[in-house]
């Protein structure tokens, strides 16, 4: 037997978390696998559980000035059907699991599970996402790169709930985006390596460049120092610049061998995806979205 709470409001849920150490459950698609018992017996939990998937306060998607706020309990299906979600995030979501899991799994759950293979994470790092956390003591905001510490390790106090994911200053015009997931098959497969990229230009000159790699280390790999080297360059990039960026990432990407892939495969594919993107990004080359254009893979 396990005590469980399904409280009427966010405030009551926060109050419960302040009274007792509880296990938060959103969609349960990670937790039920982690806590499963053998031979079909009910899942085992050592703490009382608190359901949050029904809380409407955690399901809003809205603009606040230039920033897009996404409620932590929005499911993948809800985000796919919402007009404010950026096309590139929808592309990543379409590659997550299968419809049944997408109807339950939430964005907040993907972040708090903190798997390096979590498919929304490269794009959330790329967007410089911030997280809103709430407890009875108050609210705080934290950058996703500071929140996620390693596989299943996040900087969250026991009484805190992630309430919103904030994507600051989202712009899609004059911007090339890419998200590529490499796995054993096109659907319902765990990522071997993933790559997200963004390049924005103004009058032919690159004004912003960001690259994020998933499943090649304990957390998502990004490097502001390397990204900065490309800013100010003109499209198309010279071969020496492309080679330099690829060589820089080759030095910092350090994947491991595991049951899903090998380190050498992960590194080789990651660098190929980076090279292809930086050689082909740009308005004329098919990667542009914004201004009504979709990503070419859609």
> Residues in the site for ligand FAD, rule: CB under 6 A?
23-31, 33, 52, 72, 96-97, 101, 104-106, 108-110, 112-113, 118-119, 161-162
**CA–CA distances in Å: residue 64 to residues 69, 90, 143, 278, 280:** 7, 20, 17, 32, 33
Residue nearest ligand FAD, CB atom distance: 109
Smaller CB separation from ligand FAD, 21 or 238 = 21
In angstroms, what is the minimal distance from the CB of 79 to ligand FAD?
A: 11
Smaller CB separation from ligand FAD, 111 or 237 = 111
Smaller CB separation from ligand FAD, 159 or 233 = 159
Which among 131, 133, 135 is positioned nearest to 144, based on CA atoms?
131
In angstroms, what is the minimal distance from the CB of 207 to ligand FAD?
A: 31
Asked if 89 and 120 touch (Cβ cutoff 8 Å), the reply is yes
Q: How far apart are CA 126 and CA 135, in angstroms?
A: 27
Q: How far apart are CA 74 and CA 60, in angstroms?
A: 7
The size of the chain, in residues, is: 298
In angstroms, what is the minimal distance from the CB of 44 to ligand FAD?
A: 15
Smaller CB separation from ligand FAD, 41 or 240 = 41
**CA–CA distances in Å: residue 144 to residues 12, 226, 231:** 26, 20, 23
Q: How far apart are CA 254 and CA 270, in angstroms?
A: 11
In angstroms, what is the minimal distance from the CB of 115 to ligand FAD?
A: 7
Smaller CB separation from ligand FAD, 120 or 175 = 120
In angstroms, what is the minimal distance from the CB of 1 to ligand FAD?
A: 20
């Amino acid at each position: 037997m396990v005590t469980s709470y399904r409280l009427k409001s966010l405030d009551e849920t926060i109050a419960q978390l302040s009274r007792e150490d509880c296990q938060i459950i959103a969609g349960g698609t990670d937790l039920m696998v982690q806590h499963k018992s053998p031979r079909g017996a009910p899942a085992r939990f050592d703490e009382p559980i608190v359901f949050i998937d029904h809380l409407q306060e955690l399901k809003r998607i809205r603009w606040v000035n230039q920033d897009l706020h996404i409620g932590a309990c929005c499911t993948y299906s809800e985000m796919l059907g919402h007009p404010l979600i950026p096309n590139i995030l929808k592309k990543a979501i379409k590659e997550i699991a299968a419809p049944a899991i997408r109807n339950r799994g939430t964005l907040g759950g993907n972040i708090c599970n903190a798997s390096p293979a979590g498919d929304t994470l490269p794009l959330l790092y790329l967007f410089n996402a911030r997280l809103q956390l709430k407890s009875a003591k108050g609210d705080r905001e934290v950058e996703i790169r500071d929140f996620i510490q390693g596989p299943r390790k996040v900087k969250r106090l026991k009484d805190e709930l992630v309430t919103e994911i904030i994507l600051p200053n989202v712009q899609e015009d004059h911007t090339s985006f890419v998200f590529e997931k490499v796995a054993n098959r096109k659907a319902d497969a765990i990522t071997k390596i993933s790559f997200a990229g963004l390049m924005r230009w103004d009058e032919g000159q690159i004004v912003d460049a960001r690259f994020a790699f998933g499943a090649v280390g304990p957390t998502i790999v990004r490097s502001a120092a390397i990204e900065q080297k490309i800013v100010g360059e003109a499209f198309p990039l010279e071969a020496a610049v492309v080679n330099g960026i690829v060589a820089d990432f080759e030095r910092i990407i350090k994947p491991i061998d595991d049951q899903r892939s090998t380190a050498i495969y992960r590194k080789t594919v990651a660098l190929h995806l980076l090279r292809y993107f930086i050689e082909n990004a740009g308005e004329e080359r098919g990667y542009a979205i914004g201004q009504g254009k979709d990503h070419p893979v859609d």
